[in-house]
Chain A
Amino acid sequence: MVFLLTVATPPEEEKMDALLAALAAGEREALAGLYEETRTPVYAFAFSILKNHTDAEDVLQDTYVRLYHAAGSYRPEGKPMAYILTVTRNLCYQRLREHSRRPEALPEELEGLPETATVEDRVLLQACLDRLTDGERQVVTLHAVAGFRHREIAALLGMSLSGVLSRYHRAIHKLRQLCEGGTV
């Protein structure tokens, strides 16, 4: 029997609710716990929108600072991860708006990736930038990394359910080709 070891699993809802509540109660250590639980989905989602590491890293930080300061106003209704990623999403859109006012577009690059990223990882992430459309990349990232259901993705991205489904299938199809084709 082959045992497939996955490095990360999507965060657990109850744990996050508890952490957010603790943060709201003023427990600053909760921030570290929340960060550890949710940093990969937050970074990944930001990266899938902004398409470069530097800006994604900025939004990663800004998300938690904002969560920290807005902690008092968090009400546990709906999914905590959706709440967190809504903050991330809005920060990304804000950044895109700011960039659209200036002539140069956002760089599409992986510059600055930490050493933990292997060559394999880089090739895969670069392929995500090159071969997936924006919609496909965002949908598959939310599904794979944040563990969102298609309906939840639709709500977060403002898409129709059928739109999410078709993008997801196309993205997975392309990803499988990339992984199998020996390019990754």
Chain B
Amino acid sequence: MNHHEAESRLRRAYEHATPDALEAIRAACSQTKGERIIMTNKRKKFPWTKLLAVAAALVLVVGAVAGLGMYRRSRPTTTVSLDVNPALSISLNKDETVLAVTPRNEEARAVVGDMELAGNDLTLVVNALIGSMLRQGYLDDSHNSILVSVEDTDARRGEALQKKLAGQIDGLLHTDTLDGAVLSQTVDAADGELKTLAEKYGISLGKARLIQQIVAQDARHTFDELVGLTVHELNLISSDGTGSKLETVTANGTASDKGYIGVEAAKTAAVFDAIGDTEPQITWLDAVEMDYENGRMVYEVEFAVMGVEYDYAIDALTGAVVKKETDTDNEDDRRPATTTTGKPSSTTTAGKPTSTTAAGSAAITAEQAKAAALAHAGVKAADIRDYGCELDREDGVLVYDIEFSAGDTDYEYLIDAATGKILEYERDRDD
């Protein structure tokens, strides 16, 4: 049997093993019709009872001072708006009894369904609505952000309600699969400009306020550009590891980036594009943050290596390079930065060399393994070519698989990554 036949056998086996998933894929795609959401964990549905257990969600609470009015039972004194992708308004009287729930878009209609919510206490109604959103997948561990805006005739009452709601929803959405954050800000409902913007784009006052804040802080963004983003995406681009970057917003917890490739993958993509498969000393110039550029969510990766500064925007969904800037600068020290040796560590066994000691991985660095191999082969680093080094697993042992050529001889070494011992070597002279 030649290798073509062996490959055919393998191909045939895989062909037979591939399930038919087209219907499931179609269902997952149309679930979020018109919205840019990826539901990656469609199989895992959260049981309603679990949701009311410990939880944390991302809640953006906006307090507002509206016009004046008499305090009568049927007169709405307060409006609470919820924005995720579903957008709805809840009007209340002074006793926090819900007078009406008004869905503002298709998804909100789906959330409300045929629930009869008017006449109930606000706490109950919020429970029901959040539960519905979780059940239908509008909130999950990849999209854990919700915007809550409170407009009240009485500023003090509005703020108190804001705090209470934040606490309630915070407590609602904390399971072992869901983590969240609470954002709070105040907004002035009498702000004419804000109202105009909100009406023009058909979004809530609270969301408009959030976008307005982002644009004010970062001139690269325009209101127009950000209007189509979900609350979750807006949160991702306006926060970093320590919380919201917006001054008027207080944040608890972090927006999840589980729907995306992740910081490590973004770093790997950027470094690989810049310098390929080598092991340099990388200086990270800034923490990796998410942003919105060229119509997509990206990771911003900035680093310097061998005197050159790189500024990358990596597509957060696919890992493709969206933008790349380099700046040759011969100065070595700039701002304080964290330094790691080698490529960002990876916990996969796909064979990426790593010299950081992540739990359970190599204690010997790739550099040390290389030195051991060269010493054994009796060749100098300067004399080799076609050098390759992979971290692999042979019979359960983590090894460095090192290959290089020197003169007319090809060498291959397997070096135990824990002890540095040479397990195997091969020399192959060209003839």
Binding site for B on A (CB under 8 A): 4, 6-8, 28, 31-32, 35-36, 39-40, 43-44, 47, 49, 53, 57-58, 60-62, 64-66, 68-70, 72-73, 75, 83, 86-87, 89-94, 96-97, 100, 110, 113-114, 116-118, 120-122, 124-125, 128, 133-135, 138, 140-141, 143-145, 154, 157-163, 166, 172, 175-176, 179-180, 184
Chain B residue at smallest Cβ distance from A164: B388
Extra contacts, 7 of them, besides A49-B350, A176-B1 (Cβ < 8 A), are A40-B14, A62-B38, A72-B296, A90-B319, A92-B348, A162-B403, A184-B9
Cβ contacts A to B, 8 pairs, < 8 Å: A35-B25, A47-B17, A64-B29, A65-B40, A70-B296, A116-B16, A121-B12, A141-B10
Closest 7 CB pairs of A and B: A160-B388, A144-B7, A121-B13, A44-B14, A163-B388, A43-B18, A175-B6
Binding site for A on B (CB under 8 A): 1-3, 5-22, 24-26, 28-29, 32, 36-40, 42-43, 258, 261-262, 264-265, 268, 272, 277, 294-296, 315, 317-320, 322, 346-352, 386-390, 392-394, 401, 403-405, 410, 412
Pairwise interchain contact B38-A66, C-beta atoms closer than 8 A: yes
CB distance from B281 to the nearest CB of A (A): 18
Pairwise interchain contact A31-B25, C-beta atoms closer than 8 A: yes
Interface centre among A66, A86, A113 (most CB of B within 10 A): A66
Pairwise interchain contact B39-A65, C-beta atoms closer than 8 A: yes
Pairwise interchain contact B22-A6, C-beta atoms closer than 8 A: no
Chain B residue at smallest Cβ distance from A172: B3
Pairwise interchain contact A43-B1, C-beta atoms closer than 8 A: no
Pairwise interchain contact A61-B25, C-beta atoms closer than 8 A: yes
Pairwise interchain contact B10-A134, C-beta atoms closer than 8 A: no
Cross-chain contact of A58 among B5, B16, B43, B296 (Cβ < 8 A): B43
Which residues of chain A are within 8 angstroms of B392 by Cβ–Cβ distance?
133-135
Pairwise interchain contact A96-B16, C-beta atoms closer than 8 A: no
Pairwise interchain contact B17-A158, C-beta atoms closer than 8 A: no
Which residues of chain A are within 8 angstroms of B2 by Cβ–Cβ distance?
176
Pairwise interchain contact B319-A158, C-beta atoms closer than 8 A: no
Pairwise interchain contact B9-A175, C-beta atoms closer than 8 A: yes
Which residues of chain A are within 8 angstroms of B349 by Cβ–Cβ distance?
134
Pairwise interchain contact B25-A43, C-beta atoms closer than 8 A: no
Which residues of chain A are within 8 angstroms of B390 by Cβ–Cβ distance?
135, 159-160, 163
Which residues of chain A are within 8 angstroms of B39 by Cβ–Cβ distance?
65
Pairwise interchain contact A93-B9, C-beta atoms closer than 8 A: no
Pairwise interchain contact A40-B9, C-beta atoms closer than 8 A: no
Complex CA–CA separation, A175 to B317 (angstroms): 35
